[in-house]
Amino acid sequence: MSRPTLAQVADAAGVSIATVSRVLRDRGEISPTTRARVRAAAAAIGYGGAGPGRSRAGTARLIDLVMGRYDGPYSEEVVVGAREAATRLGYDLVLTAERDDPADDWPARIAARGSGGVVLGLNVPTARQLAMLEAAAIPLVLFEPSSESRVPLPNVRTTDRAGGADAARHLLDRGARRFVVVDGAPSYRWGRARVEGFGAALAESAPDAVLRRVATGWTAGGARRVVQTVLPELPGDGPVGIFACSDEMAAGVYAAVADLGLRIPDDVRVVGFDDVRGARWLRPALTTVRQPIREMAAAAVELLVQPPAAEPTTIELPTIELPTRLMVRGSTG
């Protein structure tokens, strides 16, 4: 017979997994009635997450940030935002590397040191990884998950679709009537939303506009190669508007435009997405859709440490969506 899980306790008590986790670890501002209901539900289904003689996980004042890489400008912003929030709340931040391996034991390493919570960046946990964290009663928040989780989990993201729509309307306002969208491969949730938002706004405002979509790896080199191919084949005349789904790919667009003997913003107007530090170093400086990366990382840490203002009454867990903002610079004239 399988061991009861936090999710089953939450379902029986009519509260969220996060609330169950806080009750069983004696944390958070939770009413005595709810505490009693959760403990009764845990006892009724035989959940042993906080039984006598069992070591209490999740008690160290540590927050683990789990990501696949830490060497890019995007991840650097995530680390800064998470560290500042953890420090403000009296926690230390631990950087934990996630390997591209289904057998990766990062949840076991985190459970062994009794971490107070996990922010999982740009990914979704496997069923095995989630079960290990549940068994250790360690709460989890997803930061910009690459896909939708099959299990309801707290998560923080940005308004990707709205950002893509803003990019389309801005390029239209700047006189572009021929368009290229540079999407990333593999196709992640946020990339699809950005492309969908761009396409929907363009279809609404300029349904007859020429639009070509190309996909490549999420790198400057890949974007450079596909744009070198698609730009000369674009029908019509007049300035071209190019929307790249990341600032790194936008840098590749700049290189392709120069390779073809064209100029930004005279011939080609470019919008990126992210607003990482390097966007302002391009010449001309890159117009881009800013996602508040530091603020999002801070919000993820706060979700772990601070209880919600209103206690949830169902197992539906929060999605925090912070707004994007178009940063207009020289690449669109």
Q: pLDDT (tens digit, 9 = 90+) per residue, 253-271?
A: 999 999 999 999 999 999 9
Q: What is the SS3 assignment for 81?
A: helix
Packing angle of the helix pair 220-230, 247-259 (nearest 10 deg): 40
Name 271's Cβ contacts closer than 8 Å, sequence gap at least 6. Answer: 167, 170, 171, 241, 242, 243, 244, 250, 286, 287, 288, 289, 326, 331, 332
Q: What is the pLDDT of residue 56?
A: 41
Q: What is the longest distance spanned by two Cα atoms in the chain?
A: 75
Q: Look up residue 58 and give its amino acid.
A: G
Give pLDDT, residue 81. 97
In the numeric block, the tokens 């080609």 are attached to 268
pLDDT score, position 314: 36
Q: Which residues of the chain have pLDDT under 50?
A: 1, 50-57, 311-316
**C-alpha dist (Å) from residue 246 to 31, 173, 197, 289, 295:** 44, 21, 15, 9, 18
User: In this predicted structure, what is the pLDDT of residue 114?
Assistant: 85
CA distances from 318 to 52, 82, 309 (A): 32, 18, 12
Query: pLDDT at position 313, please?
Result: 39
Q: Are 147 and 165 in contact (CB under 8 A)?
A: no
Predicted local confidence at residue 52, as pLDDT: 33
